[in-house]
Structure 1
Amino acid sequence: MNFPLADLEGIADLLGDTLGSALGGEAHRALSNRELVDALGVVERLGRITDAARLALAGEVGRRADSEFGDDAITAQFGCGSAQEIVERTTLVSAATARARLRDAKAITGRMTLTGQTRPAPLEHARAALAAGRLSADALTTIVDALRPLQGRCSVDELEAAEFELVGAAVGDAEAPACGIHELKVMATTWALFLDPDGALPDEEYSERMRGIRVSRLSRRGLRRIYGDVTDDVAAQFDRLVDAHLNPRVQDRGPRFVDAEAEADGVPDDCVPDPRTIDQKRHDAFASILSAAAGAAETPTLGGAAPTLIITTTEEDLATPKGVAFVESAAGPVPVPASFARHVGCHGTMHRVTLAANGAIKALRIEDRVFNHWQRKAIGARDGGCVIPGCTVSAAWCEVHHVIDWAKGGPTSVDNGVLLCWHHHRGIETSGWEIRMVDGVPHVRPPGWVDPQRRWREPNRLLLNELRRARSA
């Protein structure tokens, strides 16, 4: 029998026209309150039937993508690397949606044995209720999340009993109305604890199996979401690294500025208020950790060189305060302010590529503006850490900043380099802090909200001040 694709398309067109005429435009505004609520329920049932078809088709795609099909696998035929990619490209949904559909579909998709026999779906009651339009996709996800970890640890009969009760509660009957998702989650959790009090899997095995980190592909106003689950030891290591950045550590601050006039004005130099939230501080600490890791000797190379950000911009944008640049990422080119390009270029080698009108490479010029190992050691010994007053980031986590921009003729020398943490380095153009070199010594001037008189002063960790303090002790 031929698949009635034309019939389905006709049904979809008819349904679209019907809903459009009944509820489209301003038609829904004419409904009474009772009619509006009834229509909401009916359309939701249509959506559930559609969800059931979506999951059934996605489940079959997942089944045909298994390695047992070999060269006949659906992924090989359509040139895709996974079932998820097929779903993404065909339906134009996000990766997260495609992944969720395949995960839930696996629980309601039957399998064929090697002998050709059909095996029922792992959650057959849920499949039937979903196909009838009685079970919502959200309810199915709740049941799958609760019962899937129990497979292999509980008997088939126990899992079927739990599934039967949960599906019954989700769809309701003549004696009891359907429960909400919140109540269903409570019931599902209770069943999981009852069937396996010690947990779905042993802690170590579960954590090893479920660990993972994901980065969203889409950027929203310059932000991308990182989410996932890490093992306890990785989380503890991350906490220690972040604490190394965020802990005030009074003993590491070094001497305060010897400036009686500033003290009298009530502007203690090592107590500059930090306007960042704790989450923003944690983000900046994470950025510093990534920057340090990229340049570490132990970090694997890419193409024979350390992992390097590729930033594309024009000379005009680079010189313009509101210029635009593009940074390469797994999601493709992402637009960023040109100030980001200047920030990265301040402590990295720049490869300037000139393109012809047809896109061919016309010229390649490499400009090395990186402070070498010994220069960084010397600057670190002099500054001790970020030169901005009140900042406690140590030298090991700082970047070296050209006081006079390299593009404006500033040399890559110890007399033109100072240590700045990632946060202060990135915002040096807009934060109001200013830096200058006086006889090889960095001087810092705060913005007006910190010191209304905006006086120049030496950084709080200057090696010379340390020596003076040691002699006077």
Structure 2
Amino acid sequence: MTTPVETLGQTAADLDVLLRSDVVAGLPDDAKMQLLRVAGEVQRRAEALVVETVASVDARPAGSGELAFCGRFGCRTMGELLQRVLRTDAAGAGRVVKAAKAVRREVELSSGVRLPARWPAMRAAMLDGAVGVAGLLAATGPVEHAAVRVGTADRLLADAELAAYARGCAVAAQGADDGHCADADAAVDGEEAPPATPEDLRILAQVIVQYLDPDGAEPAGDIAMRARGIILGRAKDGVIPIRGGLLPEVAGQLQRIFDAYLNPRVDGPSAPGVVVFQPSVLVDHDEAASTEAVGATGDDVLPSDDPARTIETRSRAQKQHDTLAAVLGIAARHDEMPRLGGAAPTLVVTVTADDYIAGRGWAHVDGIDVPVSVRTAAHTACAGGVQRVLFDPAGRIIGIGTSDRIFSAHQRRAITLRDRECLIPGCHVPATWCEIHHVQEHSRGGPTHTDNGVALCWHHHRTLDASGWEIRMRHGTPHVRGPAWWDPARRWRVPQPVSTARDRPAARRSALLRT
């Protein structure tokens, strides 16, 4: 009599012959498709054999002194044994153990007879090759998650429906263990639904749970409400770690904000490539006339589709950080934001006057016990305001001075309409998300005026001094000059955002009128 090991060993030997023959590569497409189908049948049955073997292992009662099955072979757990014998990872071994628990048949102590499995119909579907480990877990997982609120009778009904669906039969149209579809209409028409994938089974199982446990979502929501939270950790390597959990709807809103801010239009090309410049005189005669009217300096208009774009070096995580920074800035400026001390919640960065003027030393962020660079203070001051507080040697406040350097709402709106997006070429962050930058620094006499303000996203505003980009104003029109790697000739250019393409004729006429 052939043993199970000999039978499976012969199958493995036959597969070895097939794989060594190199016949697969020469098969036509139809034959390859059939081969994949049969290989799937073999794979699911092999998985069923593994699961059934693990499920049949007798449990050793705790304290009995008997060595467990895995211990007999030098392993601490069944998972460790499966990792070694199946050459799988811990996650794969864990899935097999979990599947085995779902289809395990306990032995009745008095008679020694094996009792039905917890999921008898799904076990039969697994043994028939209708589902593998992934399908079994996808079908049983949602119901098991709600097990304390789903009775045995309801679980068995769900078991029958899921097993029928796995085979492609009409729902609830088969017996638990017969393994055959019994839908009369399907038999008459000669049609059956396609066998279900694990994802199909998971979706059906979730629908069944919603029907069997209509109140289940609310307790889960209560758990989520208790578990939600955000905690700012202690500073490490110059950054503040964040940990916690978001409610699904909050995470969804944040993800939509990330998606909007990190839309592919916001990025430049992935690599510098060959830098090619297209002067405006070659693009459009009217644009050339507009450029001459603006400054007659030989500067070029930089259309939005110019191949010479800014090169994006930030990772997605870094861009999401910068998105959150911009969102917090917008929220702090919003009229509906709660007041703090009678004013909008304002980021306060303190620095000594000498260090601020010299551009060196350290600054401090109110509420965060970690020093930051003076450049951070300068960036904050550019986007916000400066208040000079004088102390005497004893620490008494002896003088307070303020400077009106914050662009008003009307000025912001006007600059936003003009620039439409971040001024740096290739960055399409909408201007409404941007900060307003003083082209001529306020500390050096630059006015808080629309002719001295441009829209820059949080990232480009913060890195402007070190990035090599330069900005100037000519007759109220912003000009940009890129670093040498971007434009070896370092020409001044007039950015033309995508969103202003439809307005270019009017812009040209306006430029001509200003002269």
Name the TM-score class by shorter chain. 0.5 to 0.7
Cα 1:208–1:228 change in 2 (3 A) is: farther
| Aligned residue in 1 for 2:145 | 198
SS of the aligned residue for 2:346 comes to coil
Given the superposition, is the C-alpha separation of residues 466 and 342 from structure 1 closer, same or farther in structure 2, using an over 3 Å criterion? farther
Give the Cα–Cα distance (whole angstroms) in 1 for the partners of residues 259 and 242 of structure 2.
20
1:346 aligned counterpart, secondary structure:
helix
Give the C-alpha shift of residue 299 in structure 1.
Answer: 1.3
Q: Distance in 2 between matches of 1:195 and 1:386?
A: 47
Q: CA offset at residue 348 of structure 1?
A: 1.3
CA shift digits 1:100-145 (9 cap, x unpaired): xxxxxxxxxxxxxxxxxxxxxxxxxxxxxxxxxxxxxxxxxxxxxx
Aligned counterpart, 2:229: 213
2:145 match: secondary structure: coil
1:154-173 to 2 correspondences below 5 Å: none
SS in 2 for 1:239: helix
Look up the match of 1:126: none
CA distance in 2, matches of 1:391, 1:270: 12
**Secondary structure of the residue that 1:227 maps to in structure 2?**
strand
Distance of aligned partners of 1:195 and 1:260 in 2 relative to their CA distance in 1, 3 Å threshold: closer
Unaligned runs of 5+ in 1: 1-160, 251-255
Task: Indicate whether 1:416 and 2:422 are aligned.
Answer: no
Equivalent of 2:249 in 221, 233, 246: 233
1:371 aligns with 2:387: no
Match of 1:58? Answer: none
Quick one: percent identity of the two aligned structures? Answer: 39
| CA displacement at 1:269 relative to structure 2 | 5.3
Determine the structure 2 residue equivalent to 1:300. 338
Q: Secondary structure at the match of 2:378?
A: helix
Deviation at 1:390, TM superposition (A): 0.6
Give the drift of 1:376: 0.8
Describe how 1:170-189 pairs up with structure 2 within 5 A.
178=76, 186=94
Give the Cα separation in 1 of the matches to 2:307 and 2:471.
Answer: 15
Q: How does 1:234-273 map to 2 (within 5 A)?
A: 234-249=250-265, 258=280, 260=282, 268=306, 271-273=309-311
Structure whose CA Rg is larger: 2
Which letter does structure 1 place at the counterpart of 2:481? R
Q: Does 1:355 align with 2:369?
A: no
Contact 1:208–1:231 (Cα < 8 Å) also in 2: no
Q: 1:178 to 1:427 in 2, by over 3 A?
A: same
Change (3 A) 1:455 1:397: same
**Matches of 2:75 and 2:500, distance apart in 1:** 77
In structure 2, C-alpha distance between the alignment counterparts of 1:464 and 1:197, rounded to whole Å: 56
Alpha-carbon distance in 2 for matches of 1:457, 1:186 = 61
Aligned mate of 1:346, from 366, 371, 382: 382
Residue 309 of structure 1 corresponds to 347
Say if 2:471 and 2:481, in contact at 8 Å, map to a contact too: yes
Contact kept in structure 2, 1:328 and 1:334, CA below 8 Å = no
Question: 1:371-415 CA distances to partner (integer Å, 9 max, x unpaired)?
Answer: 001111111111111111011110110110000111111000001
1:315 Cα shift? 1.3
Alignment check: 8 A CA contact 1:320 1:338 kept:
no
1:277 lines up with 2:224 in the alignment: no
3-state secondary structure, aligned to 2:326? helix
Which of 176-185 and 233-242 deviates more? Answer: 176-185
- Counterpart selection for 2:431 from 375, 395, 414: 395
For residues 326 and 257 of structure 1, the distance between their equivalents in structure 2, rounded to whole angstroms, comes to 46
The answer (yes or no) to whether the contact 1:246–1:392 under 8 Å persists in 2 is no
Q: Does 1:325 align with 2:363?
A: yes
CA distance in 1, matches of 2:452, 2:498: 15
Cα distance, 1:208 vs structure 2: 4.4
Report if the CA contact (8 A) 1:416-1:437 is conserved: yes
Q: Is the 8 A contact 2:349 2:377 kept in 1?
A: yes
Secondary structure of the residue that 1:429 maps to in structure 2?
helix
C-alpha separation in 2, matches of 1:299 and 1:263: 40
Deviation at 1:354, TM superposition (A): 1.9
Counterpart residue number, 2:476: 440
- Structure 2: 5+ residue runs without aligned partners? 1-58, 81-88, 103-139, 149-215, 267-277, 284-299, 509-515
Distance 1:248 1:227, change over 3 A: same
SS at match of 1:288: helix
Does 2:329 align with 1:291? yes
Answer yes or no: is the 8 Å Cα contact 2:230–2:245 preserved in 1: no
How many residues align? The count is 299
CA contact (8 A) 1:381 1:463 kept: no
Q: How far does residue 243 in structure 1 lie from its aligned partner after superposition?
A: 1.4
TM normalised by structure 1 equals 0.55
SS of 1:458's equivalent? strand
Trace 1:49-68 onto structure 2 (pairs within 5 A).
none
Secondary structure, in 3 states, of the residue corresponding to 2:340? Answer: coil
SS of residue in 2 equivalent to 1:342:
helix
**Partners of 2:326 and 2:457 within 8 A in 1:** yes
Residue equivalent to 1:224: 240
Could you tell me how far apart the structure 2 residues matched to 1:350 and 1:270 are? 37
Tell me the distance in 2 between the aligned counterparts of 1:308 and 1:263.
Answer: 38
Label 1:269 to 1:195 Cα distance change in 2 as closer, same or farther (>3 A).
closer
Displacement after TM superposition at 1:346 (Å)? 0.9
- Whether the aligned pair in 2 keeps the contact of 1:269 and 1:390 (CA below 8 Å) is no
- Quote how far apart the aligned CAs of 1:196 are: 7.2
Cα distance in structure 2, aligned partners of 1:263 and 1:459: 6
Q: Give the conservation status (yes or no) of the 8 Å contact 1:403–1:416.
A: yes
Change (3 A) 1:304 1:467: same
Partners in 2 of 1:333 and 1:200 — Cα distance? 48
Name the Cα RMSD after superposition.
4.0
Equivalent residue in structure 2 for 1:384, among 420, 430, 433 = 420
Matched AA of 1:313: V
The residue type paired with residue 430 of structure 2 is S
**Taking structure 1 as reference, are residues 259 and 445 closer, same or farther at Cα in structure 2, changes over 3 Å only?**
farther
* Deviation, structure 1 residue 277: 1.5
CA contact 2:356–2:378 (8 Å) conserved in 1: yes
- Residue type of the partner of 2:223? R
1:47-126 matches, within 5 Å, as none
